[in-house]
Chain A
Amino acid sequence: MTLAPPRPGARVKVRGVIGEPAPREDAVPKVKGEFQYASDLWREGMLHGATLRSPYPFARIRKVDVSAAAKLPGVRAVLTQDDVPGKKTYGLMDRDDQPVLADGYVRFVGEPVAVVAADTIEQARAATKAIVLEYEVLEPTFDPIAAIQPSAAKLHPKGNVLERVRILHGDPAAKADVVVEGEYEFAMQDQAALGPEAGLAIPREDGGVTLHVATQWLHEDLDQLAPCLGLPESKVRIVLSGVGGAFGAREDTSIQIHACLLALKTRRAVRMTYGREESFFGHVHRHPARLFYAHGATKKGELVFVRATIVLDGGAYASSSSAVVANAGSFAAGPYRVPNAVVDCVGARTNNPPTGAMRGFGAVQSCFAYEAQMDKLAKACGLDAVEIRMRNGLVEGDAIITSQPLVGSAPIAEIVRRCASLPLPETAAHRDQSELPGGHANVTRGEGVVRGVGYAVGFKNVCYSNGFDDFATARVRLFADAEGPLARVHTAAAEVGQGINTVQLQIARTELGIERVELETADTNVGSAGSSSASRQTWMTGHAVLQACREVRQELVRRAEREGLTLDRTDLADLLDRPIEKTVTYRHQDTEKRRPDGQSRGHVAFMFAAHRAVVDVDVETGLVKVVQVATAQDVGKAINPLGVIGQIEGGIAQGVGLAVMEELIVEKGRIRNASFTDYLIPTILDMPPVIADVIEHPHPDGPYGAKGVGEAPTISSTAAVVAAIRAATNRDLERVPVRPDDIVFGTSSRSGWRIAPGDDPRRAVRG
């Protein structure tokens, strides 16, 4: 063994460490068109899968006859519920909830009833149409409040209340000088990831199966999948394929079980890819909500109480409704000091499309309502939007309405102040015609245009909560090849576009002090990383990689000491005649389960952001142009500043979209606008410039102080845009998205139910 000459002074500077703006490791293949997404997967001789879906929102299946379909040319398998070899149901949080294929009933339009594998996709689709089905149509329930009344028809053996969280904090009968009330409506938003649901299932010689798929959580898929296939987990391997965006929509399984069933049945590789329309029917959406609020304050605008009743429409199956309900409830009062609160939050089962995870996960719905309330309160107390938020904002040590005190920074006043001090855009008169409301054929040349400015603040948990065993595993292997030391990092963290892979590489480079770090493909051959959701991967997988690297480094130190060397002055390759491999599973500190009164230290950490939106509204026509969004967000530590900006701007785009255009039109349970022509998402012309003040107040428990980033930009940006439109129009605008009609007419939509804020919505009265 030869020793490298001792290097004078410090080590060579390593590039791509934490805190540096780092281009993504997968950006090069992506710009070249070489990156392999799930829908690009291809195998010689593979079959194509297609799904037959229910046309009815609620019906009993009287008869299924697949014999004609099975005889069609090219058809290799036609499967229904009877052909599911193992467990017949699955579900993200309740494994007994949703049938793999319809179990005698269908409960939403689009529910999978049968799947087909054929030589070509056209043959597979033709076969789905040849399946004979007889339905007995049942009376559906679409109104979530009606669905949870005691008299409502039961839509599922498990009943219609998916979850109820009641939070009692302080004095439920507290009185206040100033009280403002409001009823709010929140429409259904879609994640609209561009990459369709897709995967390739390949049967194995040992009777098992390997699934390549675009997902957010490999091990959760495995845990749901293996029992349904009747296989031990050891015989199922899931490999992350290229993911074309997720935003929550890939937290539930889509093609996973179906593709594997078909592959196992036919003993052939089977690819399934949804088209755009099917994608809208084949993944969960964001929960629509009805929110009934009362805020009480002193004359000076100091909050005395918040009372809220929130009903979220979970659709036909549970998905992650229980956690979404818990979030909407826990965060129902916002990032404010609220001594007394009563919150009743219920997730309802209906015959609408199932809803589940989407960026912001319950926090977005309540933020829209509580921020509207804060503005009403400000008005009633003669304060402006900035003052009321600074006056009531949580500071470190304050508790939220679940009695959990905030640890680390809770810089509400600071983010509001810093957001408010960011430069405002030029006035309309100075700007390009193309930036006014409307398209090129502008309906205005400035006439009728009123500018409005609005503020909103939001917060949410990072990582999983309420006693969930939340962990992430990382395996780091350090060895030397001809070019020197090389580290390989293996985790199951799903890179869905958010940038966790680059973060892992940056952390490994920082900890190991080497530049050559590579990632293994994420799969189930390593321990779970948990989901790419709840803004948790930097915290969780980041921590796991960090700790695994530190263990590797400790071993290096031991080896160096054994050789009588100083690590900093030694060529690492010289210590790596044997590789070093360390596997670490990181768990964040325990969180408490929710008590019956909703109180608990249920969350591990929080993230915060403030948004200021500037809009121009053509008040005569109701057209809106969002002119600018300014934001101040506390990210703890920007591990990759380039990625942080991307998350902030992208998250705001989804918030802006929800504020002014994004709505799934669901009519009698059927999505009417399942296309990108009819479900509008912002184009590059719609998206305003974003000014971001990225604040780094380290969290004591986060890796390098980092908190999560991804969800905060979406939580309050919607509320800020609507506040700005209210400021421009003097309309109440109690519903999102805001439509031209709402601005022109001031239409507000009432649920048709009378519910006193804080009351149990299961005892609602019509009227």
Chain B
Amino acid sequence: MNAFSYVRPRTLSDGLRLLRSGASALAGGTDLLGLMKDGLARPELLVDLTGIEGLRGWSRAKGKGLRIGALTPLVELEEAEELHRAMPILRESLRDAATLQLRTMGTVGGNLLQRNRCWYFRDQATACWLKGGTKCFAVEGENRLHAILGAHECVAVAPSDLVPALIAYDAEIALASSRGRRTMKLADLYVAPHGRERREHVLRPGELITEVRVSESALARKGAFQKAMERKAWSFALVSVAAAARIERGVARDVRLVLGGVAPIPWRVVAAERGLEGSGFDEAACAEAADRALQGAAPLRDNGYKLPLARELVRRTLRSLVV
């Protein structure tokens, strides 16, 4: 690890003031400290946010939807029964996200901003395109785990399990920096690295996620999450699928379908959602949506299996909303 200074501010405004250039925000540390140990992150100043009051915990005020503080440990979301009743997809998506220890340490904000797991990116000795190099080594290399959809110069996949689940509920995030505050749709946070955008999200320098919000109307949706991984615990998704819809008298409205592990960003498939709108998630509609979800897929040498895998996972996830 490089040498750095460490501060633990007590207020958000102090924290934001400290997050100048060269500084990194530290929450659970489960991703950032690993990156720093591997020399992939080299902050001069580490701003430990865990002392800041008011960013931890969640609330659901009547009619105002759900608010989740960015510093809430993942395990707290997973264990709260009330939250589980309100939005079961949270527990479903979190329990396979990492080990108990890591879910205890890891926070919601950190999960949303975790870096990808591409082994070329994570290898200090490989100057891949995303790290400023000239080429993506995965395109012609070992790419079993890489993207089949939506990739440009970089074929790493979005790693989070929680994010597709939240996007299926149209989650918004609140952001703060020393220059002000803004909100955006969580889905808009992510960007497939391309051109001069050698990054996975559009967070501005010095900006923090403070809160995740899910509206009351979205909470009326039924959701489902499924994840295929190569062992039964603590393994990143080969493919994950989050689906949600409001189901009125057997008819689907506000359908959302988001895939993880297949593209550099959480892969929302609006075309498939539209096709399902008004359907009853019958077999034929789900199968068609599964095909649509993978339209335009361009598998690499070793990851073609993700196509049938994702197709089947989409079909089953959608079906599980009604069966």
Binding site for B on A (CB under 8 A): 55, 122, 434, 438-445, 447-448, 620-623, 625, 660-661, 665, 667, 672-673, 675, 677-678, 680, 682-686, 739-741, 744-745
Contacts and interface: CB of A to CB of B under 8 A. Distances in A.
Given A621-B313, A625-B232, 6 more contacts: A442-B226, A665-B119, A672-B123, A686-B233, A740-B238, A741-B144
Given A623-B228, A745-B305, A440 B316 contact: no
Interface in B268-305: 302, 304-305
A99 to B, nearest CB: 22
Interface stretch (B51-59, B91-99, B195-203): B91-99
Contacts of B309: 621-622, 740, 744
Contacts of B122: 675
Given A447-B316, A677-B117, A683 B233 contact: yes
A660 B144 CA distance: 15
B195 to A, nearest CB: 27
B142 interface: yes
Contact of B313 (A439, A443, A739, A741): A443
A673 B320 CA distance: 35
A744 B236 CA distance: 19
Interface in B121-162: 122-123, 125, 141-142, 144, 161
Contacts of A739: 144, 230, 305
Contacts of B125: 55
A622 B161 CA distance: 20
B322 interface: no
Nearest to B305: A741
25 contacts: A438-B229, A438-B232, A439-B95, A439-B232, A440-B96, A441-B93, A443-B226, A443-B312, A620-B312, A621-B308, A623-B228, A661-B231, A665-B119, A672-B119, A672-B142, A673-B119, A675-B122, A680-B231, A680-B235, A684-B233, A685-B232, A741-B144, A744-B308, A745-B304, A745-B305
A682 B230 CA distance: 10
Contact of B233 (A443, A447, A685): A685
Interface of B: 1, 92-93, 95-96, 117, 119-120, 122-123, 125, 141-142, 144, 161, 225-236, 238, 240, 302, 304-305, 308-309, 312-313, 316, 320
Contacts of B305: 622, 739-741, 744-745
Contact of A439 (B1, B119, B229, B302): B229
> Interface centre among A443, A620, A625, A665, by most B CB within 10 Å?
A443
Given A680-B235, A683-B234, A621 B95 contact: no
Contacts of B227: 438-439, 441, 443
B11 to A, nearest CB: 33
B304 A682 contact: no
Contacts of A685: 231-233
B228 A443 contact: yes
B96 A439 contact: yes
A72 to B, nearest CB: 14
Most buried by A among B119, B122, B231: B231
Given A443-B316, A740-B309, A683 B226 contact: no
B308 A620 contact: yes
Contacts of B120: 672
A441 B96 contact: yes
Contacts of A745: 304-305, 308
A441 B95 contact: yes
B37 to A, nearest CB: 8
A622 B96 CA distance: 18
Contacts of B93: 441
Contacts of A683: 231-234
A739 B122 CA distance: 23
B119 A678 contact: yes
Contact of B226 (A441, A625, A665): A441
Given A621-B228, A740-B228, A741-B304, A440 B95 contact: yes
A686 B93 CA distance: 19
A163 B1 CA distance: 43
Contacts of A740: 228, 230, 238, 305, 309
Contacts of B225: 441
Contacts of B230: 660-661, 680, 739-740
B132 to A, nearest CB: 18
A607 to B, nearest CB: 29
Nearest to B1: A122
A686 B232 contact: yes
A245 B316 CA distance: 42
Contacts of B117: 677-678
A620 B225 CA distance: 17
B229 to A, nearest CB: 6
Contacts of B226: 438, 441-443
A69 B309 CA distance: 51
Contacts of B119: 665, 672-673, 678
